[in-house]
Structure 1
Amino acid sequence: MPPVSELLIAGKSINAADNANLLDTLLAAGLAIPYSCRAGSCHACMVRCTQGELLDAKPDALSPAQRAEGWRLACQSRIRGDLALEVFDPQRDGIAARIHSLDWPAPDILRLRLLPARPLRYSAGQHLLLWGASGVVRPYSLASLPGTDEWLEFHIDCSRPGAFSSQVRQLVEGDQLGLGELHGGGLHYDPDWQDRPLLLLAAGTGLAPLWGLLREALRQAHQGPIRLLHVARDPASHYLAGELAALTEAHPNLQVELPVQAELAAALANLQLASRQTIALVCGSPAAVEHFSRRLYLAGLPRSQLYADTYLSRAS
């Protein structure tokens, strides 16, 4: 039998086997720990370790400042000895935000814009946590552009019922939400890429972070060709078609393709790299990211030039 450790968390004492995954242990004990990707990218499952230490599979996933405060990712941590832990508390650890505006650019996609109570420093493509009065917490990628947009913008897919998506359908301008400051996400724009071809591939609301990163590249006067492909369920779900058309009109080096799901195979079959120097930024569901990535590898893209982020649709 493996050694048994004692975990003190949220007023509970939990006996757990050493080397067990912390997130699985906490969920099995009935604790409502938010989580999403289980891959260390979304940061939804952060806990603070106040006594003891954890075996951390991804020590670089959090910033040095977060780690110094004791924050760890439960999904990437294994138990090693007795521990005292604190869960992420929205009232204590979060930031209040007021809804600036919300609209529905597609029937099931909400564009939500928030004004935080204090300024946030962030980068295009970064994740933040969102929660409402019910306490349900979800990670979302930012679609806004720092230094340009006065608000924080999120694109939320409400096509499937869920605790959070059902809640946001009831929101109105002026309502309050909470924000959790994160620095996760696998996507970014590097000024050193300025002369290299950019290939942006998105599925559904995976377009959100790429919308911010595309505008970041254009703001920095990206010189290489930029090709964006957004696949959606149907034509109505190409929710940024108008805005993308306006950018294409203003920037001759930008090409945009908007296939629907039934046309994706043909679009990817015709996918050719502008050069071996191409940088690819990919975002969507795990299946979509895997599909895009496989096609890029077949087209000859080096793995080191592919940056990907995934999101999970949850019905809870």
Structure 2
Amino acid sequence: MPELKVTDRQWTVTAGANLLDALNQAGVPVPYSCRAGSCHACLVQCVSGDVRDSRPDALSPAQRDQGWRLACQCQVTEDVQIHTFDPQRDGQAAEVVAVDWLGADVLRLRITPERPLRYRAGQHLVLWAGDVARPYSLASLPGEDRFLEFHLDCREPGQFISAARQLKAGDPIRLGELRGGALHYDPDWHDKPLWLLASGTGLAPLFGILREALRQQHQGAIRLIHVARDACGHYLAKPLQALAAKHPNLSVEWIIGAEAPAALAQLRLTSRQTQALVCGHPERVEAFAKRLYLAGLPRNQLLADVFLTRENGAG
């Protein structure tokens, strides 16, 4: 059976074992979110040996030549030595500037990095609180917000959530690498209808992307739909209502979870040029996508990002 080595540790794993699982089960902290090769949170480097990669197209040729792999997409088939991210050595220092609650379940975390961070709306960033890590989508808008903003769903317990609940303004925090993510705003969509469909804190990246579209003076109609467990879950209602009042081409709709199937069944496209971005829990994303396809949306006009609730057990 193949041997897996990380720094001064070495152990035997079953041939064909998933690399991400093999690392985390052995107590090596590798964060992850989508497990689909989109968020890039689980990036590791093969120092010697290699792994079987089911998504070689997910990274650039230059990254692959340097040995970088997405652990969630790889199987261990031979002896391999892995370099993992060390937040103290490889991470960037940052400071918490505000922690507050947006409703009962969503914790808003605002931080300022030690050095300016160049990013685009919709990207992911891995946050490290001590030796516990988790990737989150940015809700902030580059160039306008003076901080990085994240919306943390605290309904499910987890090590990072427990650590985040204890944070306060002035506390240090470490940042991992910035990841691409599947969601973004393309200026070529300028005149096209733009649909943004989110469930839960899947609204976070779409909040940034919406503001990016408005900043670029998007001319097509923009329709934002947010599905939440109950009315209290529509945690960005006030700022979104303010944006809708200011921009006539923006409409915002709120749907309660139990009403979602019937509400989504009523969706009708006004144009086959519509561009759709969906984000949230896997079941909600699947429901959004299925309804949009049935309504006639071409598959290449839908971008999706999935949020998993299970946390990495780092630390």
TM-score if structure 1 supplies the norm length?
Answer: 0.93
Q: Supply the AA of the counterpart residue of 1:267.
A: A
Residues 136-158 of structure 1: per-residue CA shift (max 9 Å, x gap): 11010001111111111100011
Conservation of the 8 A alpha-carbon contact between 1:99 and 1:113: yes
Label 1:109 to 1:266 Cα distance change in 2 as closer, same or farther (>3 A): same
Q: 2:3 aligns with which of 2, 6, 9?
A: 6
Between 1:81-90 and 1:118-127, the stretch displaced more is 81-90
Q: How does 1:114-129 map onto structure 2 within 5 Å? A: 114-129=111-126
Q: Supply the AA of the counterpart residue of 2:18.
A: N
Label 1:155 to 1:28 Cα distance change in 2 as closer, same or farther (>3 A): closer
Q: Does 1:219 align with 2:209?
A: no
Q: Supply the AA of the counterpart residue of 2:218.
A: H
Q: 1:169 aligns with which of 162, 165, 170?
A: 165
Give the secondary-structure state (helix, strand or coil) at the position aligned to 1:106. Answer: coil
Label 1:167 to 1:16 Cα distance change in 2 as closer, same or farther (>3 A): closer
- Tell me, in whole angstroms, the C-alpha distance in 1 between the residues paired with 2:178 and 2:303: 18
Q: How does 1:238-249 map onto structure 2 within 5 Å? A: 238-249=234-245
| Other-structure match for 2:269 | 273
- Tell me, in whole angstroms, the C-alpha distance in 1 between the residues paired with 2:27 and 2:168: 33
| Other-structure match for 2:228 | 232
Q: Does 1:112 align with 2:109?
A: yes
| Other-structure match for 2:40 | 43
Q: 1:204 aligns with which of 175, 197, 200?
A: 200
Label 1:239 to 1:70 Cα distance change in 2 as closer, same or farther (>3 A): same
Q: Supply the AA of the counterpart residue of 2:250.
A: L
- Tell me, in whole angstroms, the C-alpha distance in 2 between the residues paired with 1:49 and 1:71: 6
Conservation of the 8 A alpha-carbon contact between 1:108 and 1:159: yes
Give the secondary-structure state (helix, strand or coil) at the position aligned to 2:81. Answer: strand
Residues 61-98 of structure 1: per-residue CA shift (max 9 Å, x gap): 33555445432111112234332211211111111110
Q: Supply the AA of the counterpart residue of 2:86.
A: D
Structure 2: runs of 5+ lacking an equivalent: none
Q: Does 1:184 align with 2:180?
A: yes
- Tell me, in whole angstroms, the C-alpha distance in 2 between the residues paired with 1:86 and 1:167: 25
Q: Does 1:73 align with 2:64?
A: no
Task: Give the C-alpha shift of residue 162 in structure 1.
Answer: 1.3
Structure 1: runs of 5+ lacking an equivalent: none
- Tell me, in whole angstroms, the C-alpha distance in 2 between the residues paired with 1:265 and 1:23: 34
- Tell me, in whole angstroms, the C-alpha distance in 2 between the residues paired with 1:63 and 1:128: 19
Q: 1:130 aligns with which of 127, 130, 135?
A: 127
Which stretches of structure 1, 4 residues or more, deviate above 4 A after TM superposition? 63-66
Conservation of the 8 A alpha-carbon contact between 2:2 and 2:15: yes
- Tell me, in whole angstroms, the C-alpha distance in 1 between the residues paired with 2:123 and 2:150: 11
Task: Give the C-alpha shift of residue 266 in structure 1.
Answer: 2.6
| Other-structure match for 2:51 | 54
Residues 144-200 of structure 1: per-residue CA shift (max 9 Å, x gap): 111111111100011222111121111111111111122231111110011110011
- Tell me, in whole angstroms, the C-alpha distance in 2 between the residues paired with 1:140 and 1:175: 18
Label 1:164 to 1:228 Cα distance change in 2 as closer, same or farther (>3 A): same
- Tell me, in whole angstroms, the C-alpha distance in 2 between the residues paired with 1:37 and 1:237: 22
- Tell me, in whole angstroms, the C-alpha distance in 2 between the residues paired with 1:203 and 1:227: 14
Q: 2:22 aligns with which of 21, 25, 30?
A: 25
| Other-structure match for 1:296 | 292
Residues 204-251 of structure 1: per-residue CA shift (max 9 Å, x gap): 000000000000111111010000000111212211111001110111
Conservation of the 8 A alpha-carbon contact between 1:43 and 1:139: no
User: Aligned Cα RMSD in Å?
Assistant: 1.7
| Other-structure match for 1:150 | 146
Q: Of the two structures, which has the highest relative contact order with CA contacts closer than 8 Å and spacing of 6 or more?
A: 2
Q: Supply the AA of the counterpart residue of 1:279.
A: Q
- Tell me, in whole angstroms, the C-alpha distance in 2 between the residues paired with 1:104 and 1:47: 33
Between 1:30-39 and 1:86-95, the stretch displaced more is 30-39
TM-score if structure 2 supplies the norm length?
Answer: 0.93
Conservation of the 8 A alpha-carbon contact between 2:31 and 2:135: no
